[in-house]
Amino acid sequence: MSNVTIIPAKKNNSTENTSGCLTKVAAYCRVSTAEENQQNSYATQIAYYTEYITSNPDWQLVGIFADEGISGTQTANRTQFNKMMKLARRKKIDIILCKSISRFARNTVDCLEYVRELKALGISVRFEKENIDTSSMTSEFAISLYASFAQAESESISKNVTWGIEKRFREGKVRYQLRQMLGYRMGDDGKPYIVEEEAETVRTIFRMYADGYSSSEIAVYLTEQGAKRWNGSTEWNRNHVYQILQNEKYSGDAILQKSYTVDCLTHERADNNGQKPKYYVQDCHEAIVDRETYDKVRLELEKRRIDAKRGKKEKGKYHTKYCLSRLLFCPYCGGAYKRTTWTIKGEKMGVWRCGNRLEGMKCPKSPSYHEDVLQNNILKAINGMIGNTENVESAVVSSAEKMQAENELIDTEISEIVAKLTEIEETRDSILECVSGSMFEQMSSELKKLNAEENGLVEKMDALKAKKENNRRSILKAGSATELFRDISPLIEFDENTVDKLIQKIEAVNKDEIAVIFCGGFRIVQTIEK
């Protein structure tokens, strides 16, 4: 075996010192978490700089300033860093040593701000990894660029942490927050258990809403009955009721990632309104509300939301004035029909016309219908199906099978996108780890390409998820319509709520015919009888 002799590296510790005084040197170390492997790095940094500074006879060790388990994205919470800056401002330090810019600051703005201040005080900062000495810099370009990469690294780490959390979400691991939730308490097994007295109040809220009561009316009823909220109060308002109706946990399910971190530098969080994926975990704990009632309420919530947006809501009471505004369409221009008023022989009469035609656009083929005639013929189409729903049920089953098959394909495509996004994250991280001065421009170009690809994939995934949710809602609505057909008697009067639950769409074919498409897709052509 060959003899090996280690030749120590030459340390470039010399600093020109013409005054005869020792150069006052400090070092700054930081690790961002308190995990064991990071603690080892923390201790290593302190030992390294202590030996490094004391081995130079021209240097005087001012101190090793080390923050442990502190994020570098904000300097406000780094007590040792702030202590070092106070000494620097009192001219007690000449040189500050730091392993890398990412240890000094992961925020570009903070990094440049402190470097400029130190440079103005005559204090140089030496970053070993990047081989930068701020005292000899003629331009801030290099440090700005490196600091930008440090910030990008911080953002990348944040994304990796987020990715780990999302991985647990995908595995269906639910973290329950029940402190302000009526009807549940946390059990010793880590799962919610039902508090029956409170649960009955929750069931009452869901039943009343499914039966057509408004959230305000339910709140008044609960207050009169002395029903208790989660905090013991017996005063209810519409928002208290609405929050319960919106909570999926009452069905035994859980939606994960309802909020997210907006900025890893400021740690600001926001409600997730589609900016990030959500994860719906079914049957993860015991339900208070049965699935049928819960699904009916979800459909009712969506319907009322659309009505409210269109201004179809009366103060204090839910009311759908014109369901035909969202059901009746022109098959020629695609426009929704609108109600207008004509005066015929001195009498005012409701008339339905193509909305585009009413607004002055050309749509010569679109017919107009007197409201009473239109409503009577829609009733005939519905009554013709009551007691003879085989065709409707067959269409619902067929439609549901197609949409479920489509959703399975969507799930596969989403999984492929998620895998591709993981690859992009790994590629981005590897680029940031290999940063060097000669590759800045090339790396910047590669990062831009990765970001563009990532944005495109996220946008595509959001569209797929929206399509999947629409399919799911259509299946629910079709199932509810089928059940309603089995139970109702022939309609004598035009009931907006019932018509809306049974019919998916009506096409204004011509002045003598309308096409009625029931929920689930079964289509009939109704001859207009005046």
473 domain-assigned = no
Same domain, 104 and 218: no
DSSP-derived pairing of the beta strands 328-329 and 279-281: unpaired
Structural domain includes residue 259:
yes
Give CA–CA dist 130/137, Å, rounded.
13
User: pLDDT band at 1, cuts 50/70/90?
Assistant: very low
User: Is residue 435 situated within a structural domain?
Assistant: no
Q: Indicate the pLDDT class of residue 19, thresholds 50, 70 and 90.
A: low
Of 309, 340, 360, which closes a domain? Answer: 309
Q: Under 8 Å CB-to-CB from 280, ≥6 apart: which residues?
A: 248, 253, 254, 255, 256
Asked whether residue 28 falls in the same domain as residue 160, the answer is yes
**Beta pairing partners, 263:** 268
Does residue 141 share a domain with residue 30?
A: yes
28 in the same domain as 148: yes
137 in the same domain as 52: yes
Q: What is the pLDDT of residue 140?
A: 53
Look up residue 490 and give its DSSP letter.
P
Residue 293 lies in a domain: yes
Span 141-151, pLDDT tens digits: 455 555 555 55
Distance CA 393, CA 375 (A): 24
Q: How many domains does the chain have?
A: 2
Antiparallel, parallel or unpaired: β 328-329 and 503-510: parallel
Cα–Cα distance measured from residue 143 to residue 348, given in angstroms and rounded to the nearest whole number: 77
Share of the chain above pLDDT 70, in %: 75
Interatomic CA distance for residues 301 and 210, integer angstroms = 9
The CATH number of the domain holding residue 65 is 3.40.50.1390
Angle between the N-to-C axes of helices 108-120 and 79-89, in degrees from 0 to 180, rounded to the nearest 10: 30
What is the SS3 assignment for 281?
Answer: strand
Residue 128: domain span: 23-165
One domain for residues 66 and 147: yes
| DSSP assigned state of 249 | G
Q: What is the CATH number for 269?
A: 3.90.1750.20
Q: What is the pLDDT of residues 207-242, one digit of tens each?
A: 888 877 888 899 999 999 999 999 999 999 999 999
Q: Which of 114, 135, 165 is the last residue of a domain?
A: 165
- Give the pLDDT mean for 485-498: 84
- pLDDT, tens digit (0-9, with 9 covering 90-100), for 288-317: 998 878 888 887 787 777 666 655 443 333
Determine which helix (DSSP H) or strand (DSSP E) holds 126, and give its type and residue range.
strand 124-127
Which DSSP category does 21 fall into? S
Around 353, how many Cα atoms within 13 Å sit in the side-chain half-sphere? 16
**CA atoms of 116 and 121, how far apart (whole Å):** 9
Same domain, yes or no, for 46 and 149? yes
How far is residue 116's CA from residue 110's CA, in Å, rounded to a whole number?
Answer: 10
Helix (H, G, I), strand (E, B) or coil at 37: helix
Q: Are residues 196 and 161 in the same domain?
A: no
Residue 502 has pLDDT above 50, yes or no: yes
pLDDT greater than 80 at residue 496: yes
- Tell me, yes or no, whether 96 and 225 share the same domain: no
Q: Work out the number of other CB atoms within 10 angstroms of the CB of residue 32.
A: 18
Separation of alpha carbons 55 and 13, rounded Å: 9
- Mean pLDDT in residue range 359-375: 87
First and final C-alpha spacing in the chain: 108
- Domain boundary (134, 165, 196) is at 165
Instruction: Verify that 191 and 161 share a domain, yes or no.
Output: no
In the DSSP assignment, the letter for residue 506 is E
Residues across the chain? 530
Q: Is residue 416 part of a domain?
A: no
Region 344-348: what's the mean pLDDT?
83
Specify if 191 maps to a domain.
Answer: yes
Q: Comparing 222-226, 350-354, 367-371, 458-462, which segment has the lowest mean pLDDT?
A: 458-462
**Shared domain check, 146 and 207:** no
Flag whether 523 is in a domain: no
Strands 23-31 and 95-98: parallel
- Tens digits of residue pLDDT in 257-268: 776 655 444 445
Q: Which tokens in the block code for residue 27?
A: 């070092």
What pLDDT score was predicted for residue 47? 82
Which tokens sit at 340? 């207008």
**DSSP single-letter state for residue 9:** P
User: Do residues 227 and 208 lie in contact, with contact meaning Cβ atoms separated by under 8 Å?
Assistant: no
Q: Compute the mean pLDDT over every residue in the chain, rounded to the nearest whole number.
A: 78
User: Which of 192-201, 230-239, 437-446 comes out lowest in average pLDDT?
Assistant: 437-446
- Rounded-to-integer distance, Cα 514 and Cα 373, Å: 12
Does residue 158 share a domain with residue 41?
yes
Residue type, 393: E
- Tell me how far CA of residue 116 lies from CA of 93, 120, 265, 441, in angstroms: 15, 6, 21, 25
Q: Is residue 202 part of a domain?
A: yes
